Amino acid sequence: MRLADRVQRIKPSATIAAATKARQLRAQGVDIIDFTVGEPDLDTPDFIKSAAVEALQNGFTKYTDPRGMLPLREAICHKLARDNGLTYNPDEIVVSCGAKQALYNAFQALINPGDQVLIFSPYWVSYPDMVLLCDGEPVFARTEPKMGFKPDPDQLRNLLSSRVKVLLINSPCNPTGSVWDRPLLEKVAEIVVSWRDLIVISDEVYESLVYDGKEFASIASIAPEVKERTVVVNALSKTFSMTGWRLGYAAAPKPIADAMAKVQSQSTTNPTSFVQQAAIRALLEPGFFPQEMRKLYQKRRDQMVNGLNNLDGVHCPRPEGAFYAFADFRCALQEMGLSDDIELMDHLLTKGRVATVAGSAFGAPGWLRLSFAVREELIAEGLTRLQNSLGS
């Protein structure tokens, strides 16, 4: 059987693969501490669930506008103005099945064969493959732990060319937790606007998880001329612990939003109808759930990062946002005589019964990603197991 070439170019998501392996071992009765998880461990708040149940009971079970129902797009505009200082019209919003689909729509709408997408590395696993699926070419700008995984504006200036169609920003970042503050975003924005046709895609799904009193800023809010060429992508997935509901959205200049809506209308049509009703409730009356989760996860971050830094041969920078510890295991690898992070990940899973994700999936060989969206006692037990299996 001959499959399409584009499928041969991409690989399955490494994070999903690592989580699946952990789940399979667990199903066989092996007691695994799972640090692969890319979702909050808390339940979706009841007030959001109730809104979905009400919508179902009221028979809200049919197709909606492919862009998402108008009251939801209005609620998204309200949220973007309230939280991010951004003014959008509902016809500049496209609601999708998760941020992933919003990103996919954006690439489909923007990328021609051979167009380059500049991605800061370490990066979220799906970006390069999404670009490859659109016949684009992912190119990478390395960020360094000593600079908090933030870009060097001079390096950025040198990497841009007329072939780069899209600059992809992900702050707070998965996997590094790096949060770009407003002065840095201003510098990046200044470089962006010097390129006539460059578009920014800003993946803001971890917006609500910024620690130590720091503030989140969207690059689109820097200046109107930046907003005019930015696609803001966000979702309810992480903010309201709604990963399985599949509800994300994009805010973009109308021609891009129209193109994204056209792509979506020929793929999934609309996001699930009753989930849209629940999303309206969450966005208009968010309550304190996001803040409470942030407080809880800041404590867990400290527990995880302190524990990792106590391990021999491991160094873990303190993430400023999101819920992943991204740790350098290169010394530990050498001491153990292992060849790479994949071997280390397998060793920790089979010998230590701790599931992690190898950094090479994020463009950072020798590193591991460990999610701290996990209960404190599991973090403690996982750290003990790591210590034992690194020593062995």
Ligand X SMILES: Cc1ncc(COP(=O)(O)O)c(C=O)c1O
295: how many CB neighbours lie within 10 A of its CB? 10
Q: Is 174 in the site for ligand X (CB under 6 A)?
A: yes
Tell me whether residue 248 or residue 307 sits nearer to ligand X (CB atom): 248
Tell me whether residue 294 or residue 347 sits nearer to ligand X (CB atom): 294
Contact 251, 76 (CB under 8 A): yes
Q: Which of 66, 98, 138, 177 binds ligand X (CB under 6 A)?
A: 98
For 120, 123, 169, 175, 329, the CA distances from 150, given in Å and listed in that order, are 9, 12, 11, 13, 20
Beta pairing partners, 142? 121
Contact 271, 96 (CB under 8 A): yes
Tell me whether residue 148 or residue 352 sits nearer to ligand X (CB atom): 148
Tell me whether residue 99 or residue 198 sits nearer to ligand X (CB atom): 99
State in Å, rounded, how far the first CA of the chain is from the last one.
Answer: 46
Angle subtended at Cα 340 by Cα 337 and Cα 344, rounded to the nearest 5 degrees: 75
Q: Which of 73, 100, 227, 369 binds ligand X (CB under 6 A)?
A: 100
Nearest residue to 124 (alpha-carbon basis) of 24, 233, 197, 41: 233
Q: Is 99 in the site for ligand X (CB under 6 A)?
A: yes
Which listed range, 42-50, 51-59, 94-102, 191-199, lies at the site for ligand X (CB under 6 A)?
94-102
Tell me whether residue 178 or residue 273 sits nearer to ligand X (CB atom): 178
The CB-of-169 to ligand X minimum distance in angstroms stands at 10
Q: Which of 167, 179, 189, 205 binds ligand X (CB under 6 A)?
A: 205
Between helices 376-391 and 341-350, what is the axis angle to 10°?
A: 110
203: how many CB neighbours lie within 10 A of its CB? 28
User: In this structure, is the dihedral angle defined by the CA atoms of residues 67, 72, 73 and 79, taken in order, positive or negative?
Assistant: negative
How far apart CA 121 and CA 151 sit, in angstroms, is 9
Tell me whether residue 233 or residue 344 sits nearer to ligand X (CB atom): 233
The CB-of-173 to ligand X minimum distance in angstroms stands at 7
Restricted to residues 119-138, the positions that interact with ligand X (CB under 6 A) are 124
Restricted to residues 234-253, the positions that interact with ligand X (CB under 6 A) are 235, 237, 243, 248
The CB-of-128 to ligand X minimum distance in angstroms stands at 13
Tell me whether residue 96 or residue 277 sits nearer to ligand X (CB atom): 96
Q: Which residues contact 322 (CB under 8 A, 6 or more apart)?
A: 172, 173, 174, 175, 177, 206, 209
Q: Which of 41, 83, 92, 203 binds ligand X (CB under 6 A)?
A: 203
Tell me whether residue 243 or residue 387 sits nearer to ligand X (CB atom): 243
User: In this chain, which residue has its C-beta nearest to ligand X?
Assistant: 98
Restricted to residues 8-67, the positions that interact with ligand X (CB under 6 A) are 38
How far apart CA 156 and CA 213 sit, in angstroms, is 28
Tell me whether residue 153 or residue 244 sits nearer to ligand X (CB atom): 244
Nearest residue to 385 (alpha-carbon basis) of 35, 29, 7: 35
Which listed range, 95-103, 353-361, 370-378, 379-387, lies at the site for ligand X (CB under 6 A)?
95-103
The CB-of-206 to ligand X minimum distance in angstroms stands at 7
3-class DSSP assignment, residue 370: strand
Q: Is 370 in the site for ligand X (CB under 6 A)?
A: no
Q: Which residues bind ligand X (CB under 6 A)?
A: 38, 98-100, 124, 170, 174, 203, 205, 235, 237, 243, 248
